Amino acid sequence: MSTRQSPTPPERTLNDALGIEIDGAEGDEVRGHIPLSDRILQPYGLVHGGAMLSLAETLTSYGTWAGVQAEGKLAMGQEISASLIRPITSGNVNGLATVRRRGRTAWVWEVEITDDEGRLCALVRATIAVRAPG
């Protein structure tokens, strides 16, 4: 008997719970956003840093998967770190992920999180592991 489970339906994932949307991928970049809502705020009315990191990991995991899925490989977060620079209190949380290294077993990305005025709100570096299924 296999312990491997089938994929989780998208409507039951963290991405759906937070409202993360992938806007597109082209070349070495992936863009996405989260519309501001109460579910991504911390008690002081600012976007929670965890929501920003969730957007960054989603964009980088998606970008890595898009690059390796034709080989039958999977992509999953391995490491993430961020500098939270300024708060977001309205509009959207916007992310632009740029791949910096495409390795055989891991890809390294940088993500700029901005507000709707284009102001830099967070800088994120993520390493996404590339693995064979199973």
- What would the pLDDT profile of 29-57 be if each residue is shown by its tens digit? 999 999 999 999 999 999 999 999 999 99
CATH code that applies to domain 22-131: 3.10.129.10
Gap between the Cα atoms of 9 and 93, Å rounded? 24
In this structure, are residues 52 and 87 in contact, taking their beta carbons and an 8 Å threshold?
no
Q: Is 119 left (phi over 0), alpha (psi -120 to 50) or beta?
A: beta
Paired sense of beta strands 106-114 and 92-102, if any: antiparallel
Q: Where are the domains of the chain?
A: 22-131
Looking at 11, 57, 79, 112, which residue is catalytic?
57
Collapse the DSSP code of 58 into the 3-class scheme (helix H, G, I; strand E, B; otherwise coil) and give the result.
helix
One-letter identity of residue 119? R
Q: Is this prediction's pTM over 0.85?
A: yes
Cα separation of 41 and 28, whole Å?
Answer: 30
Instruction: Give pLDDT tens digits for 56-76.
Output: 999 999 999 999 999 999 999
The torsion angles phi and psi of 11, rounded to 5 degrees, stand at -75, -5
The question of whether 71 is a catalytic residue gets the answer no
- Are the beta carbons of 109 and 60 closer than 8 angstroms? yes
Instruction: Enumerate residues 6+ apart whose C-beta is below 8 A from 129.
Output: 75, 76, 77, 78, 105, 106
- pLDDT value for 10: 80
Of the candidates 47, 67, 44, 48, the one whose C-alpha atom is nearest the C-alpha of residue 128 is 67
